[in-house]
């Protein structure tokens, strides 16, 4: 492990909570694609599969920020465990209904419940922020590390989910994803020493973290970015099936994540100067441009190469996004702020998955890649239009103003 990464793990408990976070985040890459694979095998309908995947993502988008807001107030352990039990029970109901051929409306009902999962990545990043709040360099490396973990999940998650569902039984992928969520969250919440101190409602002012104008730009851009990811997932499975190698879709998607993982590893070693909002804008535009070659890929090897190149822009953009969230959101609402970016992605994944499923059913897999191309163009447009909000001073005061208020309160108590 390169020295900057080794250094951040000198903090007590950091290895344990990062490992627990890895397990807890596996469903992020397994559940949606697992449902797509399961439903397409059981019914042959990609439109229904995409709609259920979209329902999962939309449910996560609605519930995620609310769960994180409760976490900021009451702590991770008190909130995450009951929420996780509800989500796992809903996953079980979804799989039973799918296997038994229950009416379609039951699948959507349980998909809503299965989407009520906590944003485990935000929980882990908030622990890093608590440990390295005074060291921007270490925090940059920590965020880069977590982006690498995200991408490792996206490398192995689809392989496990699609592979088990095609080689074992259709429901295997989502089933294992639910198991990862249960183990990861309960392991994480058993580690109390590194859990961020909750901030009761009396310490929080200004309403939701989403009132930050800078965070609004990040979330809006990530809706379009999520549509890229959702579209690529659904269309790649269909593309591989059309060519008689459906199981190979997991390998192609793994290559996509591998490109991001390698870029994130290098990015974490750099100590970049200058305005992070500029780096963020360049990253979003690079993601948009990288979607165009997907329309030209005529076989799986060429598609894998195109996706690897496209993946190089992902992790650096995500790392920079977390830094911008920390700058534009008060400390007492940091978990919620980070979750809002995940929510934007989830909404986009829902829209992209649904749109891609219908396009594939209507015009074939290759035409489906127009969905991520259009989504990329929208992401770049929103990023350009909102750039000034991120480049200027934080409208909500960000972490600096929030910390000054906290110090003032402490001074008053001492006096």
Identify the segments of the chain with pLDDT beneath 70.
Answer: 1-2, 200-207, 392-415
Sign of torsion over alpha carbons 12, 16, 22, 27: negative
Q: What is the pLDDT of residues 21-64, one digit of tens each?
A: 999 988 887 888 788 888 888 887 777 887 888 788 778 878 88
Write out the two tokens for 147: 């982006």
What pLDDT is attached to residue 288?
Answer: 93
Q: How many CA atoms lie within 13 A of 380 on its CB side?
A: 16
Q: Domain extents for the chain? A: 9-196+209-414
Q: Which two tokens stand for residue 287?
A: 């993601």
Q: What is the DSSP string of 148-171?
A: HHHHHHHHHHHHHHHHHHHHT-TT
Q: Please tell me the predicted confidence (pLDDT) of residue 306.
A: 92
Burial of 42-63, coded b for 16+ CB within 10 Å and e otherwise, reads bbeebbbbbbbbbbbbbbbbeb
Which among 40, 63, 32 is positioned nearest to 231, based on CA atoms?
Answer: 32
Scored b (16 or more CB within 10 A) or e, 313-323 reads bbbbbbbbbbb
Superfamily of domain 9-196+209-414: MFS general substrate transporter like domains (1.20.1250.20)
Q: What is the DSSP letter of 275?
A: -
Alpha-carbon dihedral angle through residues 387, 389, 393, 398, given to the nearest 10 degrees:
-110
Helix or strand (DSSP H, E) at 386? helix 370-391
Closest CA to 277 of 214, 360, 368, 369: 214
Kindly report, residue by residue over 358-401, the tens digit of the pLDDT.
Answer: 888 888 888 889 999 999 999 999 999 988 887 765 544 444 44
Q: Give pLDDT, residue 409.
A: 38
DSSP 113: H
Residue 16 tokens read as 């344990």
Identify the helix (H) or strand (E) that includes residue 204: none
Note the pLDDT of residue 67: 87
The closest of 146, 121, 147, 152 to 258, measured between CA atoms, is 152
The pTM of the full predicted model, rounded to 2 decimals, is 0.73
């Amino acid at each position: 492990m390169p020295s900057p990464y080794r250094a951040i793990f000198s903090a007590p408990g950091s290895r344990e909570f990062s490992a627990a976070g890895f397990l807890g985040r596996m469903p992020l890459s397994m559940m949606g694609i697992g449902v797509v694979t399961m439903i397409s095998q059981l019914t042959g309908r990609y439109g229904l599969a995409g709609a259920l995947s979209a329902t999962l993502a939309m449910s996560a988008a609605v519930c995620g920020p609310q769960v994180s807001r409760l976490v900021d107030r009451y702590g991770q352990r008190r909130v995450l465990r009951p929420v996780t039990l509800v989500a796992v029970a809903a996953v079980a109901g979804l799989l039973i209904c799918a296997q038994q051929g229950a009416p379609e409306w039951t699948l959507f009902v349980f998909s809503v419940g299965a989407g009520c999962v906590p944003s485990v990545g935000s929980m882990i990043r908030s622990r890093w922020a608590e440990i390295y709040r005074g060291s921007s360099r270490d925090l940059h490396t920590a965020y880069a590390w977590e982006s690498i973990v995200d991408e490792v999940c996206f490398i192995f998650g689809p392989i496990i989910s699609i592979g088990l569902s095609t080689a074992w039984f259709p429901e295997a992928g989502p089933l294992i994803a639910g198991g990862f969520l249960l183990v990861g969250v309960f392991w994480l919440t058993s580690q109390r020493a590194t859990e961020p101190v909750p901030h009761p409602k009396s310490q929080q002012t200004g309403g939701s973290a989403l009132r930050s104008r800078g965070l609004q730009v990040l979330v809006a851009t990530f809706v379009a970015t999520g549509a890229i990811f959702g579209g690529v997932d659904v269309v790649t499975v269909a593309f591989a099936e059309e060519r008689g190698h459906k199981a190979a879709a997991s390998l192609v998607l793994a290559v996509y994540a591998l490109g991001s993982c390698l870029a994130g590893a290098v990015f974490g070693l750099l100590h970049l100067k200058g305005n992070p909002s500029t780096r963020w804008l360049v990253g979003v535009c690079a993601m948009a441009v990288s979607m165009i070659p997907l329309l030209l890929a005529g076989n799986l090897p060429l598609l894998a190469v195109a996706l690897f190149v496209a993946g190089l822009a992902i992790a650096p953009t995500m790392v920079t996004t977390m830094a911008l969230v920390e700058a534009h959101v008060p400390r007492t609402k940091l978990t919620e702020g980070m979750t809002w970016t995940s929510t934007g992605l989830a909404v986009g994944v829902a829209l992209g998955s649904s749109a891609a499923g219908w396009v594939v059913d209507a015009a074939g897999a290759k035409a489906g890649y127009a969905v991520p191309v259009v989504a990329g163009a929208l992401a770049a447009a929103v990023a350009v239009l909102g750039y000034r909000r991120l480049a200027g001073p934080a409208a909500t005061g960000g972490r600096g103003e929030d910390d000054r208020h906290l110090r003032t309160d402490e001074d008053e108590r001492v006096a």
